[in-house]
Amino acid sequence: MDAPRMNSRKFIWPPKFPKWGYQNRINFKIGMLFLLPWTIGFIVFTLYPMVASLIYSFTIYHARQPLEWNGIKNYTDLLTDDLFWTALYNTIYMVIIGVPLTLFSSFFCAVLLNLKVRGQAYYRLIYFLPSIVPTVASTILWLWILNPQAGILNILLGYVGIDGPNWMTNPAWSKPGLILLGMWGMGNTIVIYLSGLQDVPTSLIEAAELDGANWWQRLWNITIPMVSPITLFNLVTGVIFMFQYFAQAYVFRGFQNLGYPLNSTLFYSVLLYQNAFQWLKLGYASAMAWVLFIIILVCTLALLKISDRFTYYAG
């Protein structure tokens, strides 16, 4: 057998796979057998639809007639479509305001829940319970809470002298209303942060205490960096989720038009659904889907790249 050649970095084409020995072939067969559910699923439910939707995105869909090829016109039409930009704006609003706000609040709550006070178990329960209320139920509940006349939020605000806005009919306040709804259900993010906080070595904290650091300095210099991987995780998942925001917006508008009021709740996914199932422009909607995919991909990669400088991995 030749000694391995360390300087053979030439690019070999066509790529030669190493010859599989008998054991490798057996292992491969067994592996594939175990993977069968995923493989079939991948081909039928992932690969085929991806290819199909890519093709659709270049066509105009007709119900009982063959597909009509449209080239890249679907994509260029998107650029001139006012609704597309409105939807993009609304979605980015939620991503830029909703996600960081939720992250910050859940971290704050996790810190609260990590304090040494009696009855923590009960508090943790209370903070977590809303996150398991089913989405539709919590959205409808918040519709009731945000009702400008009889809703309890405006009533409570009234007690402290604030004139509550029309959460559901004023386009400027519908998205904040949805953000509040999202924050009510951030229990699982709190729990993830909480477990991260508990993993922060107490020795570090105590050492800082002895050195005379007050609680703010401890928080800023030790705790926050130590949980930065969790922050990154929550941030990325939050962003990906927010770009696909659909169910809450769909339920929130009641029986009014999608996007009510005044297209302020017309999020990207909602517009996509509208194009696909209300106007039957399936080709156009497919183009929207691929644009969304690319946006999410770019944002995630960008986040991961930037995060390298801010996250600290302990060991």
The answer to the question of residue 200 lying near other proteins (CB under 8 A) is no
Report in angstroms how near the CB of residue 306 gets to other proteins at its nearest: 17
Give the one residue of 42, 104, 310, 312 binding other proteins; rule: CB under 8 A. 42
Assess whether the previous peptide bond of 201 is cis (omega < 30° from 0).
no
The answer to the question of residue 75 lying near other proteins (CB under 8 A) is no
CA angle 256, 259, 261 (to 5 degrees): 70
Contact 233, 162 (CB under 8 A): no
The answer to the question of residue 46 lying near other proteins (CB under 8 A) is yes
Give the one residue of 223, 234, 238, 265 binding other proteins; rule: CB under 8 A. 234
Write out the binding residues for other proteins, residues 84-143 only, by CB under 8 A. Answer: 108-109, 112-113, 115, 117, 123, 126-127, 129-130, 132-137, 140-143
The 10 Å Cβ neighbour count of residue 265 is 26
Which lies closer to other proteins via its Cβ, residue 207 or residue 280?
A: 280
The answer to the question of residue 249 lying near other proteins (CB under 8 A) is no
Q: How deeply is 299 buried, as exposed, middle or buried, from its count of CB atoms within 10 A (0-12, 13-18, 19+)?
A: middle
Which lies closer to other proteins via its Cβ, residue 3 or residue 117?
A: 117
Write out the binding residues for other proteins, residues 173-192 only, by CB under 8 A. Answer: 184, 187-188, 191-192
212 alpha-carbon distance from chain centroid: 40
**Residue 315 and residue 313: Cα distance in Å, rounded?**
6
Which lies closer to other proteins via its Cβ, residue 97 or residue 112?
A: 112
The answer to the question of residue 269 lying near other proteins (CB under 8 A) is yes
Backbone torsions φ then ψ of 59, nearest 5 degrees: -130, 170
DSSP assignment string, 225-291: HHTHHHHHHHHHHHHHHHHT--HHHHHHTTTS-TTTTTTTT--HHHHHHIIIIIS--HHHHHHHHHH
Write out the binding residues for other proteins, residues 284-303 only, by CB under 8 A. Answer: 285-286, 288-290, 292-293, 296-297, 300
Which lies closer to other proteins via its Cβ, residue 7 or residue 22?
A: 22
The answer to the question of residue 69 lying near other proteins (CB under 8 A) is no
Report in angstroms how near the CB of residue 290 gets to other proteins at its nearest: 6
